[in-house]
Structure 1
């Protein structure tokens, strides 16, 4: 077996081995991050949550480095996993590894074409909910103590995230810090991308449904035409047979 094949097998084995532990760790990270941010923890509780998140972050770093070492083509793998790099390089993005959880729904899929659209819709909906929640935590963390900031509670932060990711932008709440505005820019870009994915998926579903209906109608029409042709052929045969009998019968007048 080639060396690259051996490394690829080891990479797949590592990913299978660490998938569930990393999902559990990401869930713990998100809970700790949310608790620390919403409750504005101080003292020993804050130290506990910070230590927990640092340990989990270190586990993500180790996982990334191991997968990079095991990858058969490291350069190609690196370029194809820039999001994973961001997840370990930027603490804000670490909870987004929870998007791997939605892959569990693949066991519910039955039809290949519908499975693809179903996964896309689930990824988009799950991603939108997770990004909105994480952005709410992040902007609250950045804006809560900033002078003149209107975003000082989690409900305000959640409302701001909802109107931002949907590109509505009422303008009643707006971040004033550089970090908060950076989060806003990323959230708006993510919102436009998610809306585009959902719109394109729905359009594809509508087009495929109409095409299926048209194909069924065309097949039904062709079946009717074939049936009519068969009946006309039978009638023609009967007429020909009757004409022959008429010619052969004597004149009885």
Structure 2
């Protein structure tokens, strides 16, 4: 049995701790938005937690880069991870930290072979709805002409946007809010395509399994028929009675 590489061992050991840090990031991101009257100390603590979590994911990327057999190949195949690490350094916005951490969590989750596609899609839907609601609320609540003022309005808007229904009763009015809307729409379409493809693949696999079983049963029946014919021929040879061909016409003709 081939021993897993150092990179694979690191990814397996850090999967759960990084997911726990992602949950901590979600709480730290949500608290100042949901509780607009939070104290300055709590707000600063949440901001520090966000940066610490992002730093943990950045350190994870650097460790995996160090363990990679070919660093150039690792950077080429994990360029999204690199963008997620670099973006918050270019512009220290909370929204960029949110986007980069979500991206890093998703990339690490896809590396885990034990996480099934359905679980990943369901987690993506919940994460996008939650963070989309919080993000649009944070940028639209103080907008002069905005109509997304409460968490309930933001969640309803996220549902209608992600499903591309778009009732129009709630809509972002700021440029950043509209950018969030575009990202949420594209994500909803992509996830719907993944779910549809997964269901179609399940049906195709089911039909192929039924076809294989039917062919197996047909082959078994044919093999059993050949064995019966061989036994009849053997019995006839021992008794001296000729065995009629299975497709030969009846020489005696129909009974009258």
The residue number in structure 2 matching 1:162 is 159
CA distance in 2, matches of 1:211, 1:69: 44
The residue number in structure 2 matching 1:114 is none
The residue number in structure 2 matching 1:35 is 31
The residue number in structure 2 matching 1:133 is 130
CA distance in 1, matches of 2:235, 2:14: 77
TM-score normalised by L of structure 2: 0.76
The residue number in structure 2 matching 1:91 is 97
Per-residue deviation at 1:203?
0.8
Aligned residues: 226
Unpaired runs of at least 5, structure 2: 88-95, 243-256
Unpaired runs of at least 5, structure 1: 1-7, 107-117, 245-253
**Is the 1:30–1:95 contact (alpha carbons within 8 Å) kept by the matching residues of 2?**
no
CA distance in 2, matches of 1:139, 1:52: 21
Superposed, 1:99-110 pairs within 5 Å as 99=106, 100=108, 106=114
The 1:156–1:234 alpha-carbon spacing in structure 2 relative to 1, beyond 3 Å, is same
- The answer as to 2:235 corresponding to 1:234 is no
Instruction: Name the Cα RMSD after superposition.
Output: 2.7
222-231 or 132-141: bigger deviation: 222-231
Per-residue deviation at 1:59?
3.1
Per-residue deviation at 1:103?
6.7
Per-residue deviation at 1:10?
5.4
Per-residue deviation at 1:24?
2.4
- The answer as to 2:230 corresponding to 1:224 is no
- The answer as to 2:39 corresponding to 1:49 is no
Per-residue deviation at 1:173?
1.6
> Which of the pair is proportionally richer in helix?
1
Which of the residues 23, 34, 37 maps onto 2:19?
Answer: 23
CA distance in 1, matches of 2:150, 2:67: 44
The 1:237–1:162 alpha-carbon spacing in structure 2 relative to 1, beyond 3 Å, is same
The 1:47–1:234 alpha-carbon spacing in structure 2 relative to 1, beyond 3 Å, is same
- The answer as to 2:225 corresponding to 1:200 is no
The 1:29–1:224 alpha-carbon spacing in structure 2 relative to 1, beyond 3 Å, is same
**Is the 2:136–2:180 contact (alpha carbons within 8 Å) kept by the matching residues of 1?**
yes
